[in-house]
């Protein structure tokens, strides 16, 4: 017993135990409980297998939710990657102290609690007091129903997500850029590579891992997005901005069908888990290649 207690692995396990308990209690248990709930009937009295998922797939509204969630997540992540990468490169060329100031300023959208900043955006889109419409009116343009027309509302929700999430990409890419060895650029310059060639043959290959991880991480988070859509449009107009989480809330909590809400919220889980497996496998493989 004493030997067992003196083992390094035992100490390590004991030190990790609080974290393991936290993960088990707040991540693993709720996840399995959600899976269990998604397989119950509406009254939660009988096991119905996958019929909640089958039912959802047949609904026109849910098909629209799938489309919107994919549109929302993929468009937002692509924009965040592009803008974040561009900003990171621009930032990387700003010398020392000034870079710190800009870095701090550009991080503000990411630091402000999302619910709070979304409320501010909502206020700017508001029908009665829209700041944007006021500006448009000053230039003689008519009011725009920002949240009242489906495609404009979709554009607004994606815009707010991109605004809030881009700084995260920027800071990650900036860190990655700084870790690219300067010798590689020098060598490519000697070989006659221009700026675009340096970008595609030095910078991007060296940043592949961090780009993969940020895209994966952001896709998961954006697919699970709730705050922005809930605050800006609550899924409207005519369900045209619902994403999985907001629809799950409406079905599960507001309409009292918790199993159907759970099934809705778990819908992307297998797809994202599958994607995560392959992306992380690729990252590990490349890391090993770099190490050898």
Partner 1 sequence: MSRAVYPVARALTCVHTMAAGVDSKPGRPDGHQKGPHVTTTPTMKRKTAGKTTRRSALKLATASAVLPLVHIRSGRAAGKLSIAFWDHWVPAGNAVMQKQVDAWAAKNQVEVQADFITSVGQKNLLTIAAEAQAKTGHDVQAFPTWEVHNNADSLEPMDDVMKRLTDKYGQVNHVCDYLAKINGHWMAVPTSSGTQYKGPCGRISILKETAGLDVVGMYPAKEGHVAASDKWTWDAHLAAAEACLKAGTPFAIGLGQTSDSVDTAGVLFRAYGAELVDKDGNNTVKSDKVRAVLEYGQKLVKALPADAVSFDDASNNRALISGQSALIWNPPSAWAVAKRDAPKVADDAWSFSGPSGPEGRFLPYLPYFWGVWSFSKNKTAAKELIEALLQRDTIEARCNEVVGYDVPPFDSMLDFKVWQEVGPPAGTVYNYPIRPFHHAVAHIAALPAPPEIAVQIYNRGTMPTMLAKLKSGQTIDQVIAWASDELEGFAR
Binding site for partner 1 (CB under 8 A): 42-43, 55, 58-61, 126-129, 143, 145-150, 153, 233-239, 249-250, 252-258
Nearer Cβ to partner 1, position 143 or 287?
143
Tell me the closest approach of the beta carbon of residue 39 to partner 1, in angstroms.
15
> CB-wise, 111 or 253, nearer to partner 1?
253
To the nearest whole angstrom, how small is the minimum distance from the Cβ of residue 118 to partner 1?
12
Report the nearest approach of partner 1 to the CB of residue 237 (Å): 4
Q: Which is nearer to partner 1, 174 or 245 (CB)?
A: 245
Dihedral in degrees, nearest 10, Cα atoms 235, 237, 240, 244: 10
Q: Which CB, 166 or 250, lies closer to partner 1?
A: 250
Q: How many residues does the chain have?
A: 292
Shortest separation between residue 147's beta carbon and partner 1, angstroms: 4
Q: Please, what is the minimum distance in Å from the beta carbon of residue 128 to partner 1? A: 5
Minimal distance in Å, beta carbon 115 to partner 1?
9
d(CA 208, CA 157): 28
DSSP the chain: -HHHHH-HHHHHHHHHHHHHHHHIIIIIHHHHHHHHHTTB-TTS-SB-TTHHHHHHHH-HHHHHHHHHHHHHHHHHHHHHHHHHHHHHHHHHTS-HHHHHHHHHHHHHHHHS-HHHHHHHHHHHH-TTT-HHHHHHHHTTPPP--TTTSHHHHHHHHHHHHHHHHHHHHHHHHHHHHHTS-HHHHHHHHHTT--HHHHIIIIIHHHTHHHHHHHHHHHHHHHHT--HHHHHHTTT-STTTT--HHHHHIIIIIISS-HHHHHHHHTTTHHHHHHHHHHHHHHHHHHHHHHH-
Residue pair 286/58 in contact by the 8 Å Cβ criterion:
no
**Least Å distance between CB 135 and partner 1?**
17
* Least distance to partner 1, CB of residue 95, Å: 45
Q: Cβ closer to partner 1: 2 or 58?
A: 58
Cβ proximity to partner 1: between 57 and 280 the closer is 57
Query: In the complex with partner 1, which residue's Cβ is closer, 146 or 173?
Result: 146
Nearer to partner 1 by Cβ, of 24 and 115: the residue is: 115
Distances from the Cα of 243 to the Cα of 43, 53, 62, 167, angstroms: 25, 16, 9, 23
């Amino acid at each position: 017993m004493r030997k067992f207690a003196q083992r390094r692995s035992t100490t390590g396990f004991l030190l990790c135990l609080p974290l393991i308990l936290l993960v088990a209690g707040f991540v693993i248990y709720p996840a399995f409980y959600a899976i269990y709930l998604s397989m119950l009937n509406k009254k939660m009295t009988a096991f119905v297998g996958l019929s909640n998922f089958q039912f959802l797939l047949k609904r026109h509204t849910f098909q629209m939710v799938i489309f919107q969630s994919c549109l929302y997540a993929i468009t937002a992540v692509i924009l965040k990657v592009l803008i974040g990468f561009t900003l990171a490169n621009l930032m990387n060329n700003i010398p020392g102290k000034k870079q710190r100031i800009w870095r701090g300023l550009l991080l503000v959208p990411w630091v402000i609690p999302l619910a709070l900043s979304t409320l501010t955006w909502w206020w700017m889109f508001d029908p009665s007091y829209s700041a944007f419409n006021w500006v448009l009116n000053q230039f003689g343009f008519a009011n725009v129903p920002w949240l009242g027309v489906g495609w404009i509302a979709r554009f607004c929700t994606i815009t707010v997500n991109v605004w809030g999430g881009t700084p995260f990409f920027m800071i990650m890419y900036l860190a990655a850029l700084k870790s690219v060895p300067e010798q590689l650029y020098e060598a490519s310059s000697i070989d006659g590579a221009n700026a675009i060639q340096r970008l595609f043959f030095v910078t991007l290959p060296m940043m592949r891992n961090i780009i993969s991880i940020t895209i994966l991480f952001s896709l998961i988070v954006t697919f699970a997005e709730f705050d922005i859509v809930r605050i800006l449009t609550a899924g409207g107009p005519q369900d045209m901005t619902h994403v999985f989480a907001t629809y799950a809330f409406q079905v599960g909590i507001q309409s009292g069908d918790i199993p159907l809400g759970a099934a809705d919220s778990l819908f992307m889980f297998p797809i994202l888990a599958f994607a995560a497996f392959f992306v992380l496998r690729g990252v590990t493989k490349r890391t090993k290649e770099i190490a050898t």
